[in-house]
Every structure is written in C-alpha cells, then in structure tokens.
A and B are shown apart, each in its own frame.
Chain A
C-alpha cells in the first residue's frame, strides 16, 4: 500500500510540474516572447478592436435594462468614472457636453455613455441627476458589481476601490481608467481619447471617424 501511495504522489507531483511548465510557457508567450510577424504587421487599431469588444449589460439612469446592442446604429462615446469624483470626472463630462455642442447636427448619432465604477453609491437615480447637470444627451449607466466588472473588462478598463486613510475619511475612493472610447455604429472600436484632450480635438477626430 505504501508503494502505491508513493507512486500516486509521484504522479501528482509530475502532473503539477507539467502544468506549471505549461503555464510558464503560456505566460512567456503572452509577455516575454517577441510577437509573431503577422502580429507586428497589424495596426494598433486592429489590436484594440480585438481587445475592446465593448459588450455590456447594465441599467440606464431611467432604470431600464440596456445592452451595447441597444446602441448599434449610433456612435457610443463611453467613459468610466463615479459621481464621488470631485476632480476629473466633472470636467470630462463637461468636455463631452462641449463636444456634443461643437458637433452640432453630427451629434445626433453620437451617444455618450457614462458607466460608473462605483455601483454601490451610484444608483440610477443618483446617476440621472448627475449626468443631467452636464448635458441632457449623456446617459448614465450602473448595474450590479458583476455587471460593472464585465463592462470594464470588455473595454479593458481598470478600476479599483481604495480604502482607508490613504483614500480619505469619506470611506473610499475609486481609481479608474480615464479614457473615452468611441465605438462605431457596428459596435466596433473606433478610437480612444485622453481626459486631457480638448473638446475641439475630440470633436474634430470624431468627425474624422464618422467620415471615414
């Protein structure tokens, strides 16, 4: 019996070693190894189009369940943030409002979507009042923690709760990706804007994408 037990442990150890080796190889393929020729030839946009798939299933600020599919035919302009963000989110929303105004008639097909990364505090009602302060066309989206995590994942967006003294006395703050993503009417990634880009630049580039 003792020999059988030992042999079994040996098998388990071997299997674990093989698995570990496979994981290491896979990890190196992803990060360390040089990309294949075909990979290099693809444009950054193509890479982003594969990575940013843009799916979501959330609740809008009027309380309706919505998915990315509901916005096909329009150009969704998506950004992540939270209402307890006093510095960066408000001017980003204001810039989006300006972009809508600058685009004039072209803004009809642009659909700004503000997705909260703090669903615990950002109910549909809170989101409704918040987005309305910036522009009537902006739609606020919230959901369960799982739905928000899935939406962030499909945009390759990062967010994390920061607790304790380091964050503030106000319970917690949220770190979050600050990019604006533009998707095309087929739901395919078109481009990305930085929070430091001006409304003029963003409006001009959106027009460029729309006229491609």
Chain B
C-alpha cells in the first residue's frame, strides 16, 4: 500500500503539468485527475420543467474514468443525453452505461452533442444565477460543480461570450 501515495503524487504532478498547458478561462473544478471546464446551463424558457447543462471534462490521469451519475438540488433527476441530427431529424437519447472520460483526453458536453438533461426542475433557472451539479465518477468520486446560467437560447458558456 505504500506504493499508492508516491503513485498518487506522481499522477497529481503529471496532472498539474498537463493542465498547465491548457488555457483556462477560470480555475477548473477538480475531482482526482479530472477537471471540469467552462460549465454552463441554459435559462428556463417559461414554465418548462427541463433544462440543459454543458461543460468540458478533461482527464489528466493515466486511466479512463466514467461519469456514472449526475444530481442537482434544482431538479428531481438528471441524466446525460446525446442529441443527433440524422437526415434533418433531431433525435435525443439517454446515454446508457455512463460517459467515459478517456485517460489523457477530454469529453465536451456541448449543444448538438452531449448535455446534462435536468428533469423536474424545482426552480426556474434564471440567467446570471448559478446552480450546482454533483457529478459522480467511478474513480474520481463525487464533485460539486457551480454552473452559471446563460440565456435560454445560448450556445456557449457566459464566460466565453
């Protein structure tokens, strides 16, 4: 077991080195070897009880990890969904079996691709406010991510506008 600590230190150092090469708008939220960059959500349009959240998850580690569950205090449930445009038809499906974040790679949750779908909103999402999402990864564990709310039809994070 003594090996674990130096190994963890080595991984953390490698992580710190590789993350240093990526230009970041704000300090990313860290969970183990994972970094959550530029998270944002869309403001609610009217009374609709669903909402979408987006972010980039970077894996600075040497092993794959997997996003297994998503939860938030502002909705009764949350899932990762994939949107696809096929022959002019928009299709949205729940992502089964979690979302793999490859070692040394990244996964972007962005419009027309992947998003966190928040369902049964208990509170209207208002532009300029911040909500909180709890992401639980197989290896990195749980991390709470503050999510700034952009406009109802936004295509990117407010910080990137």
The chain A residues found within 8 Å of chain B, CB to CB, are: 81, 83-88, 90-95, 97, 125-126, 128-134, 158, 162, 165-170, 173, 175-179, 194-196
Roughly how many angstroms separate A195 CA and B81 CA in the complex, as a whole number? 19
Known: A130-B46, A158-B89, A177-B88. 16 other contacts (CB 8 A): A83-B48, A86-B92, A86-B118, A88-B90, A88-B111, A91-B154, A92-B153, A93-B152, A129-B46, A133-B152, A134-B152, A162-B92, A162-B93, A166-B94, A169-B94, A175-B89
Roughly how many angstroms separate A84 CA and B81 CA in the complex, as a whole number? 13
Whether A86 contacts B52 by the Cβ 8 Å rule is: yes
| CB-defined contacts of B152 to chain A, threshold 8 Å | 90, 93-94, 133-134
Contacts between the two chains (Cβ within 8 Å), count: 121
Whether B111 contacts A87 by the Cβ 8 Å rule is: yes
- B39 at interface by CB-CB < 8 Å: no
Q: Considering the complex, which residues of chain B in the window 143-161 have a beta carbon less than 8 Å from any beta carbon of chain A?
A: 151-155
Roughly how many angstroms separate A169 CA and B47 CA in the complex, as a whole number? 19
Q: Which residue of A lies closest to B52 (CB)?
A: A86
Roughly how many angstroms separate A87 CA and B153 CA in the complex, as a whole number? 9
Q: Which residue of A lies closest to B41 (CB)?
A: A86
- B79 at interface by CB-CB < 8 Å: yes
Whether A97 contacts B88 by the Cβ 8 Å rule is: no
| CB-defined contacts of A176 to chain B, threshold 8 Å | 89-90
Whether A87 contacts B81 by the Cβ 8 Å rule is: yes
A86-B50, A178-B90 given; A168·B153 CB < 8 A: no
- Number of B interface residues in the complex (CB < 8 A): 36
Whether A90 contacts B42 by the Cβ 8 Å rule is: yes
A-B contact pairs, 14 of them (CB 8 A): A84-B48, A84-B49, A84-B50, A85-B92, A87-B52, A87-B83, A90-B52, A126-B47, A128-B46, A130-B46, A133-B43, A133-B152, A134-B153, A170-B117
| CB-defined contacts of B49 to chain A, threshold 8 Å | 84
Whether B45 contacts A129 by the Cβ 8 Å rule is: yes
Roughly how many angstroms separate A90 CA and B152 CA in the complex, as a whole number? 6
Residue of B47, B51, B89, B94 touching A129 (CB-CB under 8 A): B47
- B68 at interface by CB-CB < 8 Å: no
| CB-defined contacts of A168 to chain B, threshold 8 Å | 79, 81, 92, 94, 117, 119
| CB-defined contacts of B48 to chain A, threshold 8 Å | 83-84, 126, 129-130
**Smallest Cβ distance from A84 to chain B, in angstroms?**
5
Roughly how many angstroms separate A194 CA and B151 CA in the complex, as a whole number? 22
Whether A91 contacts B90 by the Cβ 8 Å rule is: no
- B85 at interface by CB-CB < 8 Å: yes
**Smallest Cβ distance from B62 to chain A, in angstroms?**
33
- B2 at interface by CB-CB < 8 Å: no
Whether A169 contacts B79 by the Cβ 8 Å rule is: yes
**Smallest Cβ distance from A51 to chain B, in angstroms?**
14
Whether A178 contacts B88 by the Cβ 8 Å rule is: yes
Roughly how many angstroms separate A50 CA and B101 CA in the complex, as a whole number? 48
Whether A126 contacts B111 by the Cβ 8 Å rule is: no
- B142 at interface by CB-CB < 8 Å: no
| CB-defined contacts of A162 to chain B, threshold 8 Å | 91-93
| CB-defined contacts of B151 to chain A, threshold 8 Å | 94
Most buried by A among B50, B81, B92, B96: B92
Roughly how many angstroms separate A158 CA and B88 CA in the complex, as a whole number? 9
Most buried by A among B83, B88, B119: B88
